A and B are shown apart, each in its own frame.
Chain A
Amino acid sequence: MNEIPTMSAEQLGMSKYTRRQFLKFSGAATAATAATVLSMNDVAEAAITRPLPLGTPILVVVTLYGGNDGLNTVIPYKDPAYYAARPDLTYKTETLLPLSDELALNPAMTGIKGLWDEKKVAIVRGVGYPEPDRSHFSSMAIWQTGSPKTHLSTGWLGRWLDTQKIDPMTSISLGSVLPPLLVGAKNSGSALPLGGLVIPSGVYAQACDQLSKPSRADNKLMAAAALSMRNLFSISGNITPILSQATQMSDDLPTVGGGNAGGDSNLTQQLNVVGKLIAAGAPTKVWSVSLGGFDTHANEANAQAALLGTVSTSITKFLSQMKASGRSKDITVLVYSEFGRRVRGNGSEGTDHGTAGPVFLIGDRVNGGFYGDQPSLTKLIDGDLPVTTDFRDIYSTVLEGVLLTPAEKVLGKWNGRIKAIKPV
């Protein structure tokens, strides 16, 4: 059984991810260890027995699936070229949230605007990579592996995990599927499904336990199936339930117009759980959450505003929830998407796949303000925004400034940095 899909260069289209591989990684098939799915109780127990020391920096990565329209997130509201390119897609000027003389936030992002005013938001403009790929799956694979040119089977945070001691708690993704982002060569992140687990008990539990033991006759997938059951029973059922209160599952988001490129729909709930576990002391340095629905080919303005409203409100609520825990100053939030969208509206009151977009860094340790140049709306490349900042500048900054790890170990030699993170 191969651990890693052995695709020929030809099948990869020389050096690009195929969607099949992306899904493969999404399925965590390449995870170095199969023991990567945790229960709430696992994390709760770890939080009690070996809490993360206060003051340890924590990174929360928010992935927006579908290609978030950067131009309607951070809006060049004084630029006539903006209104000319997308007359159907603009918001009323008086509803915009001005950040400067040139740029304003989407009207729905009031929470993040508040944090911006407190100088806790860095907006990196025009972020992308050379030779942009407009496939959702290929481009997301590039962002998550951190490698635009050569095909890598590991995610950038997975490679960071490889520099850490092996501990399934170090990095956790919310939801039952591990994103490629957290797949390392020898160490991988864990997946934490939402919703409480009910564990069988008594004689039945013993039989289940027996059934989940490793067997030499197991092939790789059978071993993984056995392990997934074993994890259920490795926890005693009576740990103080930190998450005893059921979290609301009703974050009802519009998917019309943007719902066919993956991602979860319950960001509020994911961040709520992350917040509770951080407050409880979970020994986790990197968290991954996601929101889907940004593939707004049609009727974009309302749908995107609803999605960005969720992003803004849930992040703001999460950070304010963190204040009481004494850990708010440790947390940095990174928000990105696989690409921005075409400058010109497509006439369906939406936009097609594009290139560069803004990336957000949010938290007490962030030097608020703009970074990177705003891409010109008049010097487009094939109708798309030119990339002004390589995403590896941000990754390098986060690796060194937040995760306290030399970027070279993860990204190879890379010189670009932004000064968006305050020194420890």
Chain B
Amino acid sequence: MDAKRLEIARLFNRFAFGPRPGEFAAALKSSPANFKNSLLNPPVVDAGAPKEPVLADLGPRPAPKSADSEQFSQALRAQKNELTLWWLDQMVLTQKPLQERMVWFWHGHWATSIGKVNYALPMLTQNQTFRKHALGNFKDLSQAMLVDGALQVWLDGNENTLKAPNENLAREVMELFVLGVNRYTEKDVKELARALTGYQVPRSTGVVTLNQKRRDTGAVTILGKTAVMGGPEAISHLVDQADCQRFLAERIWYRFISSTQPLPKDHPLINALAGKDITQGLTTLLNGKDLANSKYSTVKSPVEWFVAVCKALELTPSQLNSFSKLNGYLDKLAQIPFSPPNVGGWPTDEAWLSSASAQFRIAFADWLVKQANLSTIQAITPGNRISYLADLLAVPEWTARTSTALGNLQNNLPRLVALAICSPEYVVSQ
């Protein structure tokens, strides 16, 4: 396989939600180094970004069966749909694809579901926090997440008080967000829970405040350090641990390079994250050898697949002919933004490859392709369409099997394109 094609395809597929028409061929003419440079140094102003939704505070939920109850539910649903469509649009239209890809990464890292949060407004705020810190410093992101209303609601931070500590947030901060499992003791979890007491958040706004009366102001001992710590001090202490740097490297490796092969022990990514600077880590990862190493393949998750298809076919999610159909397909493929299955985030790789998902993907592909303008492909002579599609979709190479299958359809454009985006070569980032 052509190593340069492979590396550029992976850069597009894993770090940029796929190419727009012409982008892959242009990057190929240039060099991987130039393309990495453009990913890491996007335009300052995101000219592509859709307008952010303005969500009203819907206030507390009315009593069940009261007169306002039905209207409230409708407003809740409408905001949720608006939020989902906006983010999908943002993923497709942004001129800062690496930043957006990292927003998606952090969404899976600090995995918070609207299923429990209920309100769209705190989820939007969280999403904006991810974007603000997407490529910044993990120290800042962690501090921002400590007072993130959606995360506090999701992990019962509201309920964690001096009188009655609740460990939910503290445990996941240690296990899933900052350090990694088994890098702390049960005692550390209990002590961290004490340090994180006192935060309060109205569900509908997600604006976090600190109630001193509910705070545990006694000294705590966390990972060997004894002091009076509030939330910010405790988070700083955790982020300063060497395990945090390693954990971040592991998570980035897991999502971008391989979920089956472990991060090599002395991988340069670990050192690059010493200052917790995410851009520095990604720069090291992009400039390393892993992206040219053919053994590290991954599966595009359903949202990654959908966004890449939209970019290639110049579709805008909010302009598709039915939101409920779109939502239904994403639901059947088991990935709706803002609704991760649990606090551990989205599954990976083979989890997305069942016969059921293959079937739903075919139906989804048909539906999408029907709404796309295929005139550019139409203008290409049938014999050249398959290689054109490889560039359009950033596929490093079609197998003989797929070339044959697509060849049989080269005169039936919609079917040809639908099949190409359902091919193993496209579903997998090789």
Contacts and interface: CB of A to CB of B under 8 A. Distances in A.
B159 A220 contact: no
Interface in B244-278: 250, 254, 259-262, 265
Nearest to A264: B341
A220 B297 contact: yes
Contacts of A298: 156, 158-159, 166, 168
B334 interface: yes
Interface string A208-230: 10110111011111111111110
A301 to B, nearest CB: 14
A229 B113 contact: no
A339 interface: no
* Main DSSP-derived SS at the A contact region: loop
Nearest to B189: A134
B423 to A, nearest CB: 6
Interface string A328-356: 00000000000000000111101011000
A195 B347 contact: no
A246 interface: no
Contacts of A347: 159, 161, 163-166
Contact of B164 (A19, A135, A259, A346): A346
A424 interface: no
A13 B182 contact: yes
B45 interface: no
Nearest to B161: A347
A261 interface: yes
A219 B113 contact: no
Contacts of B160: 348
Interface in A13-37: 13, 16, 18-20, 22-24, 26-29, 31, 34, 37
Interface stretch (A49-57, A110-118, A196-204): A196-204
A228 B361 CA distance: 11
A11 B402 CA distance: 39
Interface string A1-12: 110011110110
B332 A259 contact: no
B36 to A, nearest CB: 24
Given A134-B186, A211-B423, A232-B358, A6 B261 contact: yes
A239 interface: no
Contacts of A137: 175, 181, 344
B359 A197 contact: yes
A138 interface: yes
Contacts of B161: 347
Given A11-B262, A229-B358, A224 B176 contact: no
Nearest to A382: B186
Contacts of B349: 27, 29, 221
Nearest to B155: A260
Given A138-B181, A260-B343, A352 B401 contact: no
A193 interface: yes
A6 B401 CA distance: 31
Interface in A229-285: 229, 231-232, 255-257, 259-263
Nearest to B118: A256
Contacts of B175: 19, 135, 137
A297 interface: yes
B261 A37 contact: no
B349 to A, nearest CB: 6
Nearest to A213: B401
B40 to A, nearest CB: 27
B321 interface: no
Interface string A279-309: 0000000000000100101100000000000
A260 B116 contact: yes
Contacts of B164: 345-348
Given A210-B404, A228-B358, A298-B166, A176 B334 contact: yes
A223 B424 contact: yes
A211 B113 CA distance: 36
Given A20-B259, A198-B363, A256-B116, A29 B156 contact: no
B400 interface: yes
Interface string A152-191: 0000000000000000000000001100000000000001
Contact of B409 (A16, A207, A226): A207
Contacts of A200: 362
Nearest to B183: A13
B405 A222 contact: no
B408 interface: yes
Nearest to A38: B355
Contacts of A5: 260-262
Given A135-B175, A297-B166, A346-B159, A222 B354 contact: no
A352 B167 contact: yes
B402 A34 contact: no
Contact of B419 (A23, A207, A219, A350): A207
Nearest to A65: B342
A410 B158 CA distance: 45
Contact of A262 (B250, B295, B341): B341
Contacts of A226: 401, 424
Given A37-B356, A215-B399, A222 B424 contact: yes
Contacts of A227: 353
A88 to B, nearest CB: 9
A39 interface: yes
A215 to B, nearest CB: 4
B342 A37 contact: no
Given A29-B349, A135-B181, A223-B424, A197 B356 contact: yes
Interface string B107-124: 000000101100000000
Contacts of A259: 113, 115-116
A342 to B, nearest CB: 9
B98 interface: no
A11 B265 CA distance: 9
Nearest to A27: B351
List the 3 closest pairs (A to B, CB-CB), nearest first. A347-B164, A348-B159, A27-B351
Given A16-B181, A225-B353, 14 more contacts: A24-B260, A29-B260, A29-B351, A34-B350, A135-B175, A211-B401, A211-B419, A221-B299, A222-B428, A225-B428, A229-B424, A297-B159, A346-B167, A350-B159
14 contacts: A6-B261, A137-B181, A193-B356, A193-B357, A207-B419, A224-B350, A229-B362, A256-B116, A292-B342, A295-B168, A297-B155, A297-B159, A346-B167, A350-B156
Interface of B: 113, 115-116, 154-156, 158-161, 163-168, 171, 175-176, 180-183, 186, 189, 250, 254, 259-262, 265, 294-295, 297-299, 332, 334, 341-344, 347-359, 362-363, 397, 399-402, 404-406, 408-409, 415, 419, 422-425, 427-428, 430
Interface of A: 1-2, 5-8, 10-11, 13, 16, 18-20, 22-24, 26-29, 31, 34, 37-39, 134-135, 137-138, 176-177, 191, 193, 195, 197-200, 204, 206-208, 210-211, 213-215, 217-229, 231-232, 255-257, 259-263, 292, 295, 297-298, 345-348, 350, 352-353, 382
